[in-house]
Amino acid sequence: MTGGVVSIGRPNLTGEFGRFLRFLLQELRPKGPVLTPFNVITALIMLVSAVLLTIRFAFGIGSITNLSQEYPWGIWIGFDVITGVALAGGAYVMTFMVYILRMEKYHPIVRVTVLNGFLAYVFYAGALLLDLGRPWNVINPVIGNSFGVSSVLFLVAWHFMLYMLAQFVEFSPAVAEWLGWRRVRKVLMGMTLGAVIFGISLSILHQSGLGALYLMARTKVHPLWYSEFIPFLFVVSSVFAGLSMVIFEGSITHKVFHHRVGKVLHRTHDDIVMGLAKICAGAMLVYGFMQLLVLVHGQRWPYLSTGWGAWYLLEMLGFVAVPAVLYFIGFRRRDMKVVRVASVMALLGIVLNRLNISVIAFKWYAAVRYVPSWMEIVVTLGVLSAEIWVFRWIVNRMPVLDFDHGHQERPEQDWVPVRSVARGA
């Protein structure tokens, strides 16, 4: 009896599996021309990065970086991790707007934003591993034999891992649609709201946690950038950092992946960008005011007349106040160009702020300053290139940009599997 059931089931299963493998192999092949200038340059950067990382793991971190006893953290932490995570903040802000506040207007870009956030965490938080001197022990704070629960870094590390999981769950319906797994997709869909709520809570904590890392470096960061309010400033700035990245990436993605952009997103893209510009202007106003309060409250104005003061004013006026005003003007005049300029300037402002705290104004009194080596920069570009390649691979195959529907108007039968090979249909 039972043998009969198995003999019916078996050929079907293997057939399904064979089809699934063929589908994967077919999808792994590149789409479009291979030898483009972009591909050649980024491949070269990744190749050089691989060589450099081999040297680094064979001879130590000092063999390719300019890190020193004075500067234990360089751009691999200050830019890749601390700045990268701030710029990936768009995912939690966007899921909050779409799934919690149900701002349906932004639904068409939620998938690409979550994908960008997820990949940013995988690659930039992943870059943390390159910087670890003893990466084989990275498992220690995970498996529970050594829980350093009094450490802010312990919190940040755990939240990175859990948030990556949450983001993967948020994005997973797209994978299920790509594979044509109808039932799996339904289950994953049911998990979205939970993942979103969990993800937002985690994001608030680790975005602020990255700032809280510097609370014990209080005598090392220049007083203009150090304050006990760093965690708050980091969370608030991650809102417009993330959304500015969404605007900036969106403007590039829409040109490069024009063929993948769905009808609804194509129609509403400008509206979405204008809405985001308005939100950014508001968030930057709040952030600027908080910075002003911190400056006044800490009685730090005497520092403004120094060289560091000029550098601080450049960051606060040139790359916070000016882009905030530009966002506002761009929104009022519905001028895409102005909004794009504002987004680039706001992003530069975030890069400046995070680098000032972690590298530039860190040990501002040191006799020998840290300047990254060309090899550190190449590895950073290599990580960025790898991320773009994976992003491109996914966007060209899975329903990311052509995810048009808000969840209300999307009937259950309406979703179209991109490939239905796995179902054998």
Partner 1 sequence: MPTVCPRRDTSTTEWSVIKKFETSAGPVTVKRQCMHCLQPACTSACLTKAMYKTPEGPVTWRASKCMGCRYCMVSCPFDVPRFEYHSAVPKIQKCVMCFSRIEQGERPACVSNCPAEALTFGRRTELLDEARSRIYTAPDRYVHHIYGENEAGGTSWLYLSAVPFEEIGFRTDLGTTGYPMYTREFLYAVPLVLTIVPPFLLALNRATRRHEEAPETGGEG
In the complex, least distance from residue 175 CB atom to partner 1, rounded to whole angstroms: 11
Gap between the Cα atoms of 111 and 412, Å rounded: 18
In the complex, least distance from residue 115 CB atom to partner 1, rounded to whole angstroms: 12
Kindly tell me the burial class for residue 341, based on how many C-beta atoms sit within 10 Å of its own C-beta (0-12, 13-18, 19 or more).
Answer: middle
In the complex, least distance from residue 216 CB atom to partner 1, rounded to whole angstroms: 4
In the complex, least distance from residue 370 CB atom to partner 1, rounded to whole angstroms: 12
Q: Which is nearer to partner 1, 177 or 387 (CB)?
A: 177
In the complex, least distance from residue 382 CB atom to partner 1, rounded to whole angstroms: 20
Gap between the Cα atoms of 346 and 213, Å rounded: 23
Gap between the Cα atoms of 61 and 259, Å rounded: 43
Structural element, H or E, at residue 396? none
Greatest CA separation for the chain: 89
Q: Which is nearer to partner 1, 170 or 316 (CB)?
A: 170
Q: Which is nearer to partner 1, 21 or 139 (CB)?
A: 139
In the complex, least distance from residue 260 CB atom to partner 1, rounded to whole angstroms: 18
In the complex, least distance from residue 39 CB atom to partner 1, rounded to whole angstroms: 31
Are the C-beta atoms of 167 and 114 separated by less than 8 Å? yes
Are the C-beta atoms of 120 and 85 separated by less than 8 Å? yes
- What single letter denotes the amino acid at residue 276? L
In the complex, least distance from residue 262 CB atom to partner 1, rounded to whole angstroms: 15
In the complex, least distance from residue 266 CB atom to partner 1, rounded to whole angstroms: 20
Q: Which is nearer to partner 1, 157 or 247 (CB)?
A: 157
Gap between the Cα atoms of 318 and 256, Å rounded: 30
Q: Which is nearer to partner 1, 56 or 340 (CB)?
A: 56
Gap between the Cα atoms of 398 and 23, Å rounded: 13
Backbone angles phi, psi at 409, to 5 degrees: -85, 10
Which residues neighbour 271 within 8 Å (Cβ) at sequence distance 6 or greater?
105
In the complex, least distance from residue 26 CB atom to partner 1, rounded to whole angstroms: 26
Nearest to 405 by CA among 396, 418, 414, 394: 414
Q: Which is nearer to partner 1, 234 or 391 (CB)?
A: 234
Gap between the Cα atoms of 205 and 296, Å rounded: 26
Q: Which is nearer to partner 1, 156 or 346 (CB)?
A: 156
User: What is the number of alpha carbons within 13 Å of residue 407 lying toward its C-beta?
Assistant: 14
Backbone angles phi, psi at 64, to 5 degrees: -125, -5
In the complex, least distance from residue 98 CB atom to partner 1, rounded to whole angstroms: 9
Gap between the Cα atoms of 90 and 86, Å rounded: 8
Measured CA distances, 65 to 51, 73, 364 (Å): 14, 10, 20
| Residue 259 neighbours by CB distance under 10 Å | 9
Distinct helix (H) and strand (E) counts, the chain: 16, 0
Gap between the Cα atoms of 102 and 306, Å rounded: 47
Q: Which is nearer to partner 1, 262 or 318 (CB)?
A: 262
- Give the DSSP letter of residue 328: H
